[in-house]
Structure 1
Amino acid sequence: MTASPSEAGTGRDPRAPYDLAVVGAGSAGLAGAVTAAELGLSVALLDSSPQSGGQFYRHPAPALGAVRPEALHHDWSAFSGLRRRLGESTVDHLSGHHVWSTVREADGTWSVHAVTGADGTAEAPALIRARTLLLATGAYERQLPFPGWTLPGVVGAGGAQAMLKSGLVLPGRRVVVAGSGPLLLAVASSLAAAGARVPAVVEAAGYLRYVRSPRVLAANPAKAAEALVHGAALLRHRVRVLPRSAVTEVHGTDRVEAVTVSRLDGDWRPVRGTGRRIVCDALAVGHGLVPQIELATALGCDTRPLPDGTLGLALDDLQETSVPGLWAAGETGGVGGAELARTEGELAGRAVAARLKGRRADVGRVGELRRRRDRMRAFADVMSAAHAPGPGWSAWLEGDTDVCRCEEVTAGRVREAVAELGARDARTVKLLTRAGMGWCQGRMCGTAVACLAADGGAAEPPAERRPFAVPVPLATLATLAETETETETETESTGPTRERPGTP
């Protein structure tokens, strides 16, 4: 198993742990890593992608020869500034590192285990040791199933944007954008600007809930300006916005040919007789984002319920979790956008440096960051509440609608497990039907299974303590077992020196 990369010429002992390991090279991770390095810490920055930027600043590989990659991004200058600082810093950027477990050692340091390569199948796994840990793992898209959602041509809204930003390709020529959340406006305007025909943006929620929080809106004028920019782009491209509506069925044989859009009542139930077809060859759909907190919950970190029913990490004023020595920033604490993520990342980086250096952080700068974070976090909560799925969305489902795509478990089978076999929670449904046991480990179907298990309620799956955050080859586990056996043999007089990854 490989350890940290060579540090020849840096003056750092390669056998010593880093001061800080940062997992995730998006906005929060970049800000945290460069801030900590500029304050004198040795930092390792791990990310699964070959390039920094995360999902928000995903951009084409140099081989594609994109002349203006910034044209598809909002606030590109902030990212380019972080990328420049990263290049000038002493941070070891470890791309292609898929972190599957983090372990707190007996001496208080952290071991970060990763599989390597573009898809995590390279032969050499990696082990990075650090005194402190910052999780900036971002979020993934929440999907609510409906008849036809497994047809080719149906992609996630974020997935459509990723295809465009990183591959410079469109999911189709005529693309309906649907679901709920402010991401839809950004996706639709990007697709339209790139040449796609976007017949409609179908938003399941309304926008009036924002008006109920005038003080929060007034404190975040940049968010209103951003919405106006997207709105103007949609007007320019003649894209209709249909609030309080949802795609309730997709039509086609070999791929998407049309969708049915229905009006929704206040609980997100389709209003009878309002369905109408829109011809298209692709559908980009997503119902918000879910914080990716598996690494943290495996360590027992406390969580907090978010207004949209998802779970985020419970963090203190300086971004530290309930586990000492473990910080988190960005979407892990609740989805709020790139600017909030950068703010939290810098705040966490300063807090870690102050802790390890044994001195007070810059009070003025920390106070400014905290005020900015609190202001943007308040807006994030308003946004989360405004787009929270209503309990009636499951009325979209038919008995043969696949809920779990990996294991091909239908809504009918899940309802049978609840009504006839007595399942009352997502875990029991999983044991009875295999829903959530596939490759994605419930990331695609978790919300739907939890809601159906709650008999139509708006429940989200509970935070699970899983030993593996990503798929791991058996050869990697065998190598790890051999390493641990050697360690235990060498220290048998004092007992085992560390836990196995994933153990409570």
Structure 2
Amino acid sequence: MPTSSERAEHADRAAAEFDLAVIGAGPAGLAGAVAAAERGLRVALVDAAPQPGGQFYRQPAAELHAERPQALHHGWAAFAALLRRLELVAEPVGRFADHHVWSVVPTPDGRWRIHVLTGPDQRRARALTARHLLFATGAHERQLPFPGWTLPGVVAAGGAQAMLKSALVLPGRRVVVAGSGPLLLAVAASLVKAGARVPLVAEAADYLGYASGARVLAANPGKLLEGGQHAAVLARHRVALRTRTAVVAAHGGDRVESVTLARLDRDWRPIPGTERRVACDAVAVGHGLVPQLELPLELGCRTVRSPDGAAALEVDARQRTSVPGIWAAGETTGVGGVQLALVEGGLAGRAVAGDSAVPAALLRRRARLREFAELMAVRHAPGPGWPAWLDDDTEVCRCEEVTAGQIRSSVAELGAGDQRTVKLLTRAGMGWCQGRMCGPAVSRLCASYAGGGGSEAAEPSYADGLLTRPLAVPVPLGLLAESATEPPTRGADE
């Protein structure tokens, strides 16, 4: 007869077994979880944040008692509708907030074991089991370094928006917004509506390039409307928009005090004589997004290369990856925005539940939005001349303080031919972020220095920062020792 502790252990194990585990509670993950649960599946929704919504629907901390969190968001109605559907499903969705997935492994009986860390200091471990997986893990922001980018007050563009949404604070009072991609307009609009002064938005690409995609634009009028709304906010607050322009240096002592802007040629090389300084106390900078793929890469999911050089998961018409039992949706399949994420998440949830009656209109909507995403990726892909912004003393890997000069020497003098070899020779990517911040820049610099100065032929030979890691997040050694009988992931003991 089982003891009380054995019965409790069995009950806990049964409570942690699901038909589908959705990793990521952003728009794609929520849509997938709801669609699957509405069709009778027992679903676990696992996310590292304390509240659902992901980066796009990030909400103020509960202790701030925000009365109108929707005022900080675009498209809040869709999110609210998802939350209402989540509450109405017949089979309740298991919600695992503040759960950091550090490994996923197949089990002998063909299921998936999801190892997570939780608790205030992420030192408590637990595991969930599911027959199927849906990866909706979102994306990292791509950073292209420049002299002075490590000064206090220089933040990621998405980071500035996250500060506003989650903590209701501004990164500064006078904020230059710079980089490339449509996120810049949304960030600048959010900042000025919250009271910041944004003297200008510096876009490294040229919006005139969208003219080549007139058909795609016409098929996505909602995207044009959204861009027009952001532009109207910026015009109302007299925010200048400068295309073919980049922040090529930041200046200051204890904090950023000004930036140098320069006009760029078609390859993103600064044009001599166009430099000018602009005073500011913060810079919000980002050059697009890179899918977050640590977990699916370790499980062997195949990737494709997006038009902007980033790796994305390869999926079929039903959002299935190359590994049986694993689906993907949202930014993991290629950065495309919240509307595409919602559509893909819903399609994946239906597919996992075995629903073959997918409305044709939904499939056409996915195709239209994916076309627009690819157009954006082409128009805002970093130019091969970007390394011309750097001097040899510019830190590229800020965790390990590795400079552009050290990376150049490892390629030109020591023969490093890829990012992994540069990592071994310089420690670039071995720090706390494990290459999430510097990986794309290091991979592009490798190709540039190997190709002799950043010509068209020197674009990366493989997708941005594509390095697999045996552990998706830092894990206490004690927890690894406890799970020694069950290897945390393929190759973890190498």
Band the TM-score falls in, shorter-chain normalisation: over 0.9
Q: How does 1:441-460 map to 2 (within 5 A)?
A: 441-454=434-447, 455=449, 456=454, 457-459=458-460, 460=463
The residue aligned with 1:59 is 59
C-alpha displacement of 1:500 = 4.4
Equivalent of 1:361 in 346, 356, 365: 356
Aligned partners of 1:174 and 1:198 also within 8 Å? yes
> 1:70-96: CA deviations, max 9, x gaps?
111111000011112223330011001
Does residue 410 of structure 1 match 2:403? yes
Aligned partners of 2:104 and 2:488 also within 8 Å? no
Distance across 1 between alignment mates of 2:465 and 2:399:
20
The residue aligned with 2:112 is 110
What is the DSSP-based 3-state SS (H/G/I as helix, E as strand, rest coil) of the residue aligned with 2:467? coil
What is the DSSP-based 3-state SS (H/G/I as helix, E as strand, rest coil) of the residue aligned with 2:336? coil
Distance across 2 between alignment mates of 1:122 and 1:236:
45
The residue aligned with 1:475 is 478
What is the DSSP-based 3-state SS (H/G/I as helix, E as strand, rest coil) of the residue aligned with 1:304? strand
What is the DSSP-based 3-state SS (H/G/I as helix, E as strand, rest coil) of the residue aligned with 1:390? coil
Distance across 2 between alignment mates of 1:388 and 1:15:
45
Does residue 20 of structure 1 match 2:20? yes
The residue aligned with 1:379 is 372
The residue aligned with 1:158 is 158
C-alpha displacement of 1:443 = 1.1
What is the DSSP-based 3-state SS (H/G/I as helix, E as strand, rest coil) of the residue aligned with 2:80? helix
Aligned partners of 1:147 and 1:401 also within 8 Å? yes
Kindly provide the amino acid, as one letter, of the partner of residue 357 in structure 2.
D
Q: How does 1:386-465 map to 2 (within 5 A)?
A: 386-454=379-447, 455=449, 456=454, 457-459=458-460, 460-461=463-464, 463-465=466-468
Aligned partners of 2:255 and 2:281 also within 8 Å? yes
C-alpha displacement of 1:7 = 12
Aligned partners of 2:60 and 2:167 also within 8 Å? yes
Distance across 1 between alignment mates of 2:221 and 2:57:
22
Q: Does 43-52 or 367-376 show the bigger shift?
A: 367-376
Does residue 76 of structure 1 match 2:76? yes
The residue aligned with 1:128 is 128
Aligned partners of 1:400 and 1:410 also within 8 Å? yes
Aligned partners of 2:442 and 2:465 also within 8 Å? no
Gaps of 5+ in 2: 1-7
Aligned partners of 2:435 and 2:465 also within 8 Å? no
Does residue 501 of structure 1 match 2:489? yes
The residue aligned with 1:349 is 349
Distance across 1 between alignment mates of 2:419 and 2:13:
48
Distance across 1 between alignment mates of 2:123 and 2:88:
31
What is the DSSP-based 3-state SS (H/G/I as helix, E as strand, rest coil) of the residue aligned with 2:353? helix
Kindly provide the amino acid, as one letter, of the partner of residue 164 in structure 1.
L
Aligned partners of 2:294 and 2:468 also within 8 Å? yes
Distance across 1 between alignment mates of 2:337 and 2:9:
35
Distance across 2 between alignment mates of 1:448 and 1:140:
13
Equivalent of 2:93 in 91, 100, 118: 91
What is the DSSP-based 3-state SS (H/G/I as helix, E as strand, rest coil) of the residue aligned with 1:184? helix
Distance across 2 between alignment mates of 1:381 and 1:7:
48
C-alpha displacement of 1:503 = 3.4
TM-score normalized with structure 2 length: 0.93
C-alpha displacement of 1:465 = 2.7
Distance across 1 between alignment mates of 2:278 and 2:443:
30
The residue aligned with 2:200 is 200
Distance across 2 between alignment mates of 1:7 and 1:386:
54
Aligned partners of 1:20 and 1:133 also within 8 Å? yes
Distance across 2 between alignment mates of 1:144 and 1:307:
17
C-alpha displacement of 1:316 = 0.3
C-alpha displacement of 1:480 = 1.0
Kindly provide the amino acid, as one letter, of the partner of residue 101 in structure 2.
V
Q: How does 1:226-375 map to 2 (within 5 A)?
A: 226-354=226-354, 360-363=355-358, 365=359, 367-375=360-368
The residue aligned with 2:3 is none
What is the DSSP-based 3-state SS (H/G/I as helix, E as strand, rest coil) of the residue aligned with 1:155? strand
The percentage of aligned residue pairs carrying the same residue is 63
Distance across 2 between alignment mates of 1:199 and 1:291:
30
Q: Does 104-113 or 235-244 show the bigger shift?
A: 104-113
Aligned partners of 1:389 and 1:458 also within 8 Å? no
Distance across 2 between alignment mates of 1:402 and 1:104:
40
Aligned partners of 1:426 and 1:461 also within 8 Å? no
Kindly provide the amino acid, as one letter, of the partner of residue 450 in structure 1.
S
Distance across 1 between alignment mates of 2:116 and 2:467:
20
Distance across 2 between alignment mates of 1:347 and 1:313:
16
Distance across 1 between alignment mates of 2:308 and 2:275:
26
> 1:325-364: CA deviations, max 9, x gaps?
000000000111111101000100000000xxxxx5224x
> 1:416-449: CA deviations, max 9, x gaps?
1111111111111111000011111111111221
What is the DSSP-based 3-state SS (H/G/I as helix, E as strand, rest coil) of the residue aligned with 1:213? helix
Q: 1:254 to 1:93 in 2, by over 3 A?
A: same
Distance across 1 between alignment mates of 2:38 and 2:404:
52
Distance across 1 between alignment mates of 2:296 and 2:220:
30
CA RMSD of superposed structures (Å): 1.9
Distance across 2 between alignment mates of 1:16 and 1:331:
27
The residue aligned with 1:488 is none
Q: 1:300 to 1:341 in 2, by over 3 A?
A: same
Aligned partners of 1:300 and 1:465 also within 8 Å? no
> 1:470-496: CA deviations, max 9, x gaps?
1111111111115x3xxxxxxxxxxxx
Gaps of 5+ in 1: 355-359, 485-498
C-alpha displacement of 1:409 = 0.4
Aligned partners of 1:344 and 1:369 also within 8 Å? no
Aligned length: 475
Kindly provide the amino acid, as one letter, of the partner of residue 189 in structure 1.
A
Distance across 2 between alignment mates of 1:465 and 1:148:
30
Aligned partners of 2:147 and 2:249 also within 8 Å? yes
Kindly provide the amino acid, as one letter, of the partner of residue 159 in structure 1.
G
> 1:224-252: CA deviations, max 9, x gaps?
00000000000000000000000000010
Kindly provide the amino acid, as one letter, of the partner of residue 328 in structure 2.
A
Q: 1:410 to 1:106 in 2, by over 3 A?
A: same
